[in-house]
Amino acid sequence: MYKAVISDLDGTLLCRGHHVTKFTKDVIKEIINKGINFYIASGRSYDQIGYITEQLDVKIPIIVANGARIFDTEGKMIYEKGLLKETAEAILDLDYENIAKDSHLNIFSGNDWIITKGTAQKVYDRIPRDVKVVFKEVPKDELKNLDILKIFYIGEHEQLIKLEEAILKVTDAVNVIFVNDYCMEIMAKGANKGAAAKFLLEREGLELKDAVAFGDGENDFEMLTMVGKGYAMGNSIERLRKLLPKDFEFVGANTEDGEAVKLQELFLERAKNI
């Protein structure tokens, strides 16, 4: 029997409208009541996840910024691995707007979501109205003064591929991943959900083999393959599918409560049959 669940949010736990369905809430509450640890591992910042834990009505440890930070049940940061200053500067020196036409630069610094001054409308154009949006606009020439957890770009996939190639030419101290086809993220080497999950589980007296995990993006690859059992969502992006072994197990799409259905099968139906 597994003792913990680690879940991605967008495209995994969350359904349409970036919300948790009643069925998913009920399943999660029931497995927690049975003593199974439940953790969230997201690319979002900590402040962007509060409304999800409110919906679930739980206080749980949370992995944020794709593994760059971990917060405990009380909201205290217990782990951090951000970009080196020189690495961030090398990336910010790139003329990204010329390399990846119409792309949009974003930064996580501490708990802040940073965008370049004058680009707020680009955020509003792509974020659903029911999702809380809190960001700070900073002049481009002041970005290098920030302590940066991760840099991410929004744009057309083929354009972002060009930017990925340019970034990897100026530094090898990063992990470049696609959360979805239109969002490319740059993390410090070694900062990923799998490494963060290992830290968190060991802190709570568990091992990676004790956990199952669910995800849909390339940023979930390490987590899915390092735990005892990983499950990819039916709506997983192509870059993740290409990385996973051919026999890797997929569950239903996030719009079909794919994770909750599998959790029910793993932890609840089995218990009824014992």
The strands making up 62-64's β-sheet, listed across from edge to edge, are 77-80, 69-71, 62-64, 37-41, 4-7, 211-215, 229-232
Active-site annotation holds for 8: yes
CB 184 within 8 A of CB 106: no
DSSP state of 155: S
Distances (CA, A) of 175 to 69, 153, 186, 220: 15, 14, 6, 12
Query: 143: closest CA among 107, 90, 167?
Result: 107
Strands 62-64 and 37-41: parallel
Strands 37-41 and 4-7: parallel
- Options 8, 10, 216, 257, the catalytic residue: 8
Beta partners for residue 38, in sequence order = 5
Q: What angle do CA 19, 116, 96 make, to 5 degrees?
A: 100
Both tokens of 28, joined, read 């999660």
Q: What angle do CA 76, 86, 217 make, to 5 degrees?
A: 60
Residue 99's H or E segment, with its range, is: helix 96-99
Active-site residue set: 8
